[in-house]
Structures are given as C-alpha cells and as structure tokens.
Amino acid sequence: MIMKKNIIYIDGENLAYRIGDILVKKKKINDKNEIIKYDFRYLFSSFLTEEQLKDSEIRYYGTRIKASGLKGDSRSRALQIIESQRRLKRSLEKQNIKFITCGTLQFRDGKKCRNCGKKTPFFQEKGVDVKMAVDIVTDSLDPKLEKIVLVSSDSDLLPAIKQVNQRGKEVEYVFADNKLNWGIVHNSTKKHNISKNTVTEGYTKANK
C-alpha cells in the first residue's frame, strides 16, 4: 500500500461531541447521536485545497460499543449509539474515509448530585488516544509522509506530535468553535479553526 502524502487523523468521539454541541445549539438536532450523515470532506475543504485533499488519507477513529450486560435505559442508550455508529460508518465509506475501530465506550454510573443525590449515568471513551498516538508515531517514520492533520484536542497526543516534529514533518491542528488546546497549538505548524457556520453547513450538505 502506497502511503498518501498527508494523513488526517480524526478523534471520532472528540469531533462528534464538538459538532453535536454546535448543531444542538443551532437547533439542527436534539442529540449528537442523531449525526448519522455528515460531509466531513466539506469540513476539510475549508482549509485544504482540492489537490491537498486528493493527496490525503482520512481516518476516523471510533470506539467499540457493547450493550451486553446493560439494562433498562442504559441498554436502550447503548443500542441507539450502536445503530447511529453503524449508519455513520456507511456515510464515511461513501466519502472514502476509513473507520478505524479501537478502544471502547464504557458505561459509567456518574457522580451523585450534591442537591438531589441522583447519579447521572454516562458513556466514556477509552483507548482511542492510544491507537491514534501509536499510528501517528509509526506513520511519521515513512519518508513519503509530508504532513499530519490532527482533528483532536486530546493532550494525551502531545508526545506523539512532538515525535512528528522531531522527524521534520508538518503538523496541522484542527479545532472547532475556538475550543483549542494550547499545548497542541505550540507544537503545530499551522492551526485551523472551523467556524460554527462551517460545521452547520457540513451537516446541511449531507442531509439535503
């Protein structure tokens, strides 16, 4: 397999959360798991030329989700997420974006509310950053690779980014709606802020 000149690494949960937050506030959706079709290539075309996109391999890192062992609302929620992810995978495949399954989405009971004592359950991503970091460091060893584009604000990826810098490769950092990580900024060649309007348009284009 011939490696592309550029690789775009997308932390799926990280980006989905940011996009979902913006779309909920814009009243386009009620819940981030409603995002089953999205034009990611349009999102990247806001800062990459058509030629640069052509020379890029795009990877979407997502989690394994299991409903076994869960009951009631937690199980229903897990099944909803599984179905949304299945449909999103199909959308990504049509855009020639690789869905890389890694890590898990684990159920957590949550902390008790100080006022009412009620716990709010939630799902937490585990392990995606490890897979991304390993791939980034490994790929940076290939002389054909010129640039990595990181779509994540996870501080755990900083050591991997520094390794890329030491090997003389470019690092472009992508964040949405000014929610940026300054540690990553200081170790990147360029940074790109995707506006709320661009995020919204990416959803609109995919769901016409």
CATH code where residue 192 lies: 3.40.50.1010
Q: What is the pLDDT of residues 125-145, one digit of tens each?
A: 566 888 999 999 999 999 999
Domain that holds residue 159: 6-206
The pLDDT assigned to 62 comes to 87
Residue 53 has pLDDT above 60, yes or no: yes
- Distance set, CA 117 to CA 63, 72, 135, 207 (Å): 31, 20, 42, 41
Query: For the chain, how many structural domains are there in total?
Result: 1
The H or E element that residue 194 is part of is strand 190-194
pLDDT band per the 50, 70, 90 thresholds, residue 190: very high
Q: Is residue 24 part of a domain?
A: yes
Entry pTM = 0.83
Q: Is residue 159 part of a domain?
A: yes
Q: Is residue 1 part of a domain?
A: no
pLDDT band per the 50, 70, 90 thresholds, residue 9: very high
